[in-house]
């Protein structure tokens, strides 16, 4: 029996940005990313590669003011697409966790496809939120992206930075850890019958 494809496309248009995003939860990590924010392209490419989600994003926005609006709107769009693609969440593993190093950085991520938006994000070193990574991407945007994704996808996510010095390494390790945990959480499990919750709904 062939399972229904778990795909979604989202278009988000505001006075601040224009986003076209599509994903396939059962992909192989292929991505085509053009956000007009180079370091965010790098992070989303890493997310796709390590979650095995096929992801396409084309975005334009008022980055001459700040990258904030464009990055936030992409996070919102990605969260909405994840929620749509998951459907009723029947047959998924539901939980995923990962511990990912990147040189001196070490990050743990835990994901629950719970239907309840909740983010616990901790451990980034003092000053990380003010650092301009690549000269344009403020460290504070990492947490903000996770907030946008979790709220709009209905995920419970814990991201804990256990160590790290280089802001680039820390941010990238956070996205890779989230990607790996997400991969395991959304994976289909042949032993799961129906919705993996005693409530019968997620």
pLDDT in tens, 68-108: 999 999 999 999 999 999 999 999 999 999 999 999 999 99
Contact status, residue 18 vs residue 60, Cβ threshold 8 Å: yes
Say what the pLDDT of residue 73 is: 97
The enclosing domain of 111 has a CATH number of 3.30.230.40
pLDDT at 1: 44
In-domain check, residue 200: no
Would 36 be classed as within a structural domain?
A: yes
Q: How many CA atoms lie within 13 A of 138 on its CB side?
A: 15
On whether residue 114 sits in a domain, the answer given is yes
For residue 2, pLDDT over 60 is answered with: no
What CA–CA distance (Å, rounded) separates 63 from 150? Answer: 24
- Whether 196 is covered by a domain: the verdict is no
Q: How far apart are CA 197 and CA 202, in angstroms?
A: 7
Does residue 167 lie within any of the structural domains? yes
pLDDT at position 34, please?
98
Choice among 40-44, 71-75, 132-136, 140-144 with the minimum mean pLDDT: 132-136
pLDDT, position 59:
97
pLDDT band at 52 (very low <50, low <70, confident <90, very high): very high
Contacts for 189-195: CB closer than 8 Å, 24+ residues apart = 189/91, 189/92, 189/93, 190/91, 192/91, 192/92, 192/93, 192/94, 193/91, 194/90, 194/91, 195/88, 195/89, 195/90
Task: Indicate whether 194 belongs to any domain.
Answer: no
- What's the domain count of the chain? 1
The answer to the question of residue 84 being in a domain is: yes
Work out the mean pLDDT of the chain and round it to a whole number.
Answer: 96
Q: Is 27 part of any domain?
A: yes
Average pLDDT over residues 61-69: 92
Going through the chain in order, the beta strands assigned E by DSSP cover 7-13, 17-24, 31-34, 54-61, 95-102, 105-112, 118-122, 132-133, 137-138, 156-163
Residue 130, domain extent: 7-186
The structure tokens listed for 21 are 């995003």
Whether 51 shows a pLDDT value over 70: the answer reads yes
Locus of tokens 């799961």 = 192
Q: At residue 39, does pLDDT exceed 70?
A: yes
How far apart (Å, rounded) are the C-alpha atoms in residues 118 and 170?
21
In tens, the pLDDT along 153-190 reads 999 999 999 999 999 999 999 999 999 999 999 999 99
24 pLDDT band, cuts 50/70/90, is: very high
């Amino acid at each position: 029996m062939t399972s229904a494809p778990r795909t979604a496309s989202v278009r988000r248009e505001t006075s601040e940005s224009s986003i076209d995003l599509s994903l396939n939860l059962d992909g192989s990590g292929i991505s085509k990313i053009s956000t007009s924010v180079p370091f965010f392209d790098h992070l989303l490419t890493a997310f796709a590669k390590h979650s095995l989600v096929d992801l396409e994003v084309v975005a334009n926005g008022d980055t001459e003011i700040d990258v904030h609006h464009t990055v936030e709107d992409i996070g919102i769009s990605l969260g909405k697409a994840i929620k749509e693609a998951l459907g009723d969440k029947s047959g998924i593993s539901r939980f995923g966790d990962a511990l990912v190093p990147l040189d001196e950085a070490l990050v743990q991520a835990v994901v629950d496809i719970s239907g309840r938006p909740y983010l616990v994000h901790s451990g980034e070193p003092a000053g990380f939120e003010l650092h301009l990574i690549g000269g344009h991407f403020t460290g504070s945007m990492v947490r903000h992206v996770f907030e946008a994704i979790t709220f709009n996808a209905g995920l419970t996510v814990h991201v804990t930075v256990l160590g790290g010095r280089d802001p680039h390494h820390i941010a990238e390790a956070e996205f890779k850890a989230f990607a790996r945990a997400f991969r395991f959480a959304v994976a289909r499990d042949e032993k799961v019958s129906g919705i993996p919750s005693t409530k019968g709904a997620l």
